Structure 1
Amino acid sequence: MVSTSTAPSWDVRRLPRADGRVVLVTGGNAGIGYFVAEQLSATGATVVLGSRNGAKAEAAMASIRTRVPGARVRAVRLDLAGLSSLAATVASLDVACLDAVVLNAGVALDNPPRRETGDGHELMFATNHLGHFALTQRLMPLLSAAPAARVVTMGSFAAKSERLDPDDLHSRLDYRPKRTYARSKLAQMHFGLELDRRLRAVGSTVASVVVHPGGALDSLTPSRPPLPVRTTGARLRAAPAAFLVQGKHAGAWPAVRAVLDPAVRGGQLWGPRVFGLRGAPRREPVWKHLTDTSTAARLWDTSCHLTGLDLHLDHDLGTTTPGQPRSG
């Protein structure tokens, strides 16, 4: 068990400077990803928003520049559901090295029917896990070129009560939208921890950290024009919930700390301080089911098969062997 009372103090409103660093935030145009990008921009880092929608990315950048004068922020097109497009996304970064990537983007469907990508993968599993798995593999040479890069995986508190079914990762036998979403986030978290184990095994300088935002509601989130604005009525109706959960600006805090804090180590899990649902970020014990290394290793092998990518790590030099994405 890890003591959570010994973590160094951290002020979410007085972040350390990160001038010269480059960070990619997937899904940085909205929600928690937007606030990760805004908060990192205020440290002097160059922040790259990965977004499918160019107009939404432009709106997010306009908001960040309004709140952070001189912000170094730009965008690249990123479609995690289109595995064949990821090589072009990485090339468009046009950087010699990458100091961090925050794997935040995600799809959450509320109602049936079940949907698939063009590669034949269930949409939430494909976007939330497989897309990030493949993107990270393609980013590894850039991450390895940085002095001490970090891969920060944004999990979900919803994954705490779920378990993976390795024989039904695409939810063909049992599709329930909320459950499928939670399992896709659990797959992401397993990947983040397994990645760190493999990086440590080869002595890599890249670290992989897993975080979750706790309970983060739109209705408790401050408005950021020209992004969609929360109405006064919605904020008032949500006010009682603030005793238990928080807005998406606070849900970003664990990821921001995982990028910036030198005390954070690979293989750790970070989330909100109060019952894992709200408050300042703190290290917490890795959930018991996330310590199942056999499930994580099996997921890794299956993900390699489904994406057509196989990562070979060799002392800080990541090389990716591409193949063809497979349905399954």
Structure 2
Amino acid sequence: MRPTAPPSRPWDVRRPPRAEGKNFLVTGGNAGIGYFVAEQLAGTGATVVLGSRNPAKAEAAADSIRSRVPGARIRHIRLDLAELTSLRSSVETLEVDRLDAVVHNAGVALDDPPRRETRDGHELMFATNHLGHLALTRWLAPLLSAAAAARIVTVGSFAAKSERLDLDDLQSTQDYQAKRTYGRSKLAQMHFGLELDRRLRASGSPVTSVVVHPGGALDSLTPSRPPVHVRTAGERLRGLPAGLVLQGKHAGAWPAVRAVLDPQVAGGQLWGPRVFALRGTPRCERLWTHLADTAVAAQLWDVSCELADVDPRLGLVAREASGTQGACSDDSGAGAPYS
């Protein structure tokens, strides 16, 4: 008799599959959603590297993860996405022979004017959230290509859903409104992740690119991880009403963790929370209408590569883009089980 295959089970956000022997990089892994992505990935047995511009905060985050995940393989590198010329040397400090996934999570969100620029003269949020991750991908290309089937997971934002890119004013030199500029920078980042997958598949690369968003993730609904994040009893009580429609950053990490680990997740997909795309377990969503605009994505790609001074092929692709994104497996977007 043929042996019976073990039964498959639905994806469980609290019991992800094991990933011993794999190497993951999480940008901005020292705080917020990035911290919880790193903590949850560390629980799978993988080696997790935190990319952070502040070594002290990164070490505090690594210590917090070690205290919660016995035997965690966790370390950090200095990574400042606003300093494009520093990214090559940062990648050289990774000290891995391959990279199975990178989670492009780090970001800057300014609440008020004035408009700020990097040393290279780029608007700070656009440079950090979008251009920095594009340039980082170029330097990670050899390590990603060395893995059997690496994944590039780009963490967007629900704030991007109501925004549209102005290709003539990508860096908000004419119309700077802090919250709008942030939303547009995250929209650019999401367009990048989708366009990247089109180009990867056109070239026959085994690397795939997936886009996720955390829904509505609030500090007041996030469990404490001192000293990384401390939630007082008062904040917890004040956040309870919002918990009906929103969630904490630990749950906001779930779509990115699934995109890294679930073999059923396909390149070119968009993953977010199940309930109104704001809270709950992760599911595959239909692409937002403006995210499906391949003409805008292609123009953004060319302009961004010029601004970041990188080859449009990023060292990962060889031909021009073609084809369509991976569709969700069914209307519910529930995804597939794993065994």
Query: By the TM > 0.5 criterion, same fold?
Result: yes
Q: Does 1:245 align with 2:236?
A: no
Quick one: which amino acid aligns to residue 213 of structure 2?
Answer: H
Structure 2 Cα separation of the partners of residues 287 and 203 of structure 1: 26
Evaluate the alpha carbon distance shift between residue 54 and residue 278 of structure 1 in structure 2; reply closer, same or farther with a 3 A threshold. same
Q: Does 1:255 align with 2:265?
A: no
Contact 1:51/1:77 (<8 A) preserved: yes
**1:141-192 deviations in Å (ceiling 9; x for gaps):** 1101100000000000010010000000010110000000000000000000
Q: Does 1:222 align with 2:241?
A: no
Cα displacement (A) at 1:234: 0.7
User: Which residue matches 1:153?
Assistant: 154
Alignment of 1:20-59 (within 5 A): 20-59=21-60
Cα displacement (A) at 1:316: 7.2
* RMSD, aligned CA: 1.4
User: Which residue matches 1:205?
Assistant: 206
Contact 1:23/1:48 (<8 A) preserved: yes
Gaps of 5+ in 1: 1-7, 319-328
Structure 1 Cα separation of the partners of residues 83 and 316 of structure 2: 30
Q: Does 1:124 align with 2:125?
A: yes
Q: How many percent identity over aligned positions?
A: 74
User: Which residue matches 2:115?
Assistant: 114
Structure 1 Cα separation of the partners of residues 270 and 192 of structure 2: 13
**1:81-130 deviations in Å (ceiling 9; x for gaps):** 00000000110111111000000000000000000000000000000000
User: Which residue matches 1:96?
Assistant: 97
Structure 2 Cα separation of the partners of residues 166 and 271 of structure 1: 26
User: Which residue matches 1:326?
Assistant: none
Quick one: which amino acid aligns to residue 131 of structure 1?
Answer: G
Structure 2 Cα separation of the partners of residues 147 and 132 of structure 1: 22
Contact 1:205/1:316 (<8 A) preserved: no
Normalised by the length of structure 1, the TM-score is: 0.93
Quick one: which amino acid aligns to residue 211 of structure 1?
Answer: V
Evaluate the alpha carbon distance shift between residue 93 and residue 311 of structure 1 in structure 2; reply closer, same or farther with a 3 A threshold. farther
Structure 2 Cα separation of the partners of residues 198 and 274 of structure 1: 31
User: Which residue matches 1:71?
Assistant: 72
Q: Does 1:180 align with 2:194?
A: no
Cα displacement (A) at 1:314: 7.7
Cα displacement (A) at 1:227: 1.7
Quick one: which amino acid aligns to residue 303 of structure 2?
Answer: T
Contact 1:98/1:143 (<8 A) preserved: yes
Cα displacement (A) at 1:312: 2.8
Structure 2 Cα separation of the partners of residues 307 and 215 of structure 1: 30
Structure 1 ranges of 4+ moved more than 6 A:
313-318
Cα displacement (A) at 1:137: 1.2
User: Which residue matches 1:269?
Assistant: 270
Structure 1 Cα separation of the partners of residues 276 and 122 of structure 2: 34
Evaluate the alpha carbon distance shift between residue 176 and residue 236 of structure 1 in structure 2; reply closer, same or farther with a 3 A threshold. same
User: Which residue matches 1:301?
Assistant: 302
Structure 2 Cα separation of the partners of residues 313 and 49 of structure 1: 22
Contact 1:220/1:242 (<8 A) preserved: yes
Secondary structure at 2:119's aligned position in 1?
A: coil
Gaps of 5+ in 2: 1-8, 320-339
Structure 2 Cα separation of the partners of residues 314 and 201 of structure 1: 14
Contact 1:78/1:86 (<8 A) preserved: yes
Structure 1 Cα separation of the partners of residues 313 and 36 of structure 2: 33
Structure 1 Cα separation of the partners of residues 229 and 222 of structure 2: 11
Structure 1 Cα separation of the partners of residues 129 and 306 of structure 2: 17
Secondary structure at 1:119's aligned position in 2?
A: coil
Quick one: which amino acid aligns to residue 259 of structure 2?
Answer: A
Contact 1:137/1:311 (<8 A) preserved: no
**1:6-58 deviations in Å (ceiling 9; x for gaps):** xx821001110000000000000000000000000000010000000011001
Quick one: which amino acid aligns to residue 202 of structure 1?
Answer: S
